[in-house]
Amino acid sequence: MRIVLLSLLSLAFLSGCATNAPTPSAVAPSESETELGAILRVGRLNQVETGVFAGGQPTVSEIEYLAQQGVLHVINLRPIEEQPFAEQAVVEGAGMRYYSIPVASAADLTVDNALQLAALLDEFGHEGVAVHCASGNRVGALVAIAAAEMGASEDDAIEKGKEWGLTRLETKAREVIEVE
């Protein structure tokens, strides 16, 4: 039922029926096209799996829009000192649950943090989740580390990390993967 609702809401939005919501841009569907018909981008967040958005810091209106689309969980990797607004209050005010895994620097790119993120994504990823840092780089690094911990080769893990936003932290992610 939720997928049907998400599909209808997404189609209505793409056809210009939505108001007061940020305009996501449609990206050409990949070979593994999602059930929504296309992979959507909301601000700096990309839909990386059905109902799972990952990337950079969303705005207040983008958080509200994600809630309207059925996203139920937001995972923030930014430490409190780095947050541009009271995100937890905004998320909870929009009816979603808020989770924090503070990753302040490359030193916080640990197996423990990666597995904590993976556990949260496994627990409710198909319920609708948005995970972010400032740019998506830390998200991708933790996803890569978790993928390697779960048995992916280093190159496959890094590729998955790049799909989730990994860029400049690739060297650090590889270092963590190699140590484990």
Q: What is the rounded distance in angstroms from the CA atom of residue 169 to the CA atom of residue 78? A: 15
Other residues' Cβ atoms within 10 Å of the Cβ of residue 83: 15
Domain boundaries, the chain: 46-179
The pTM of the full predicted model, rounded to 2 decimals, is 0.78
Please write the tens of the pLDDT for every residue from 1-51.
Answer: 333 333 333 333 333 333 333 334 333 333 333 333 244 668 888 889 888
* Amino acid at site 148: A
Which overall architecture, per CATH, does domain 46-179 show?
Alpha-Beta Complex (3.90)
Check pLDDT > 80 for residue 80: yes
Q: Identify the helix (H) or strand (E) that includes residue 52.
A: strand 52-55
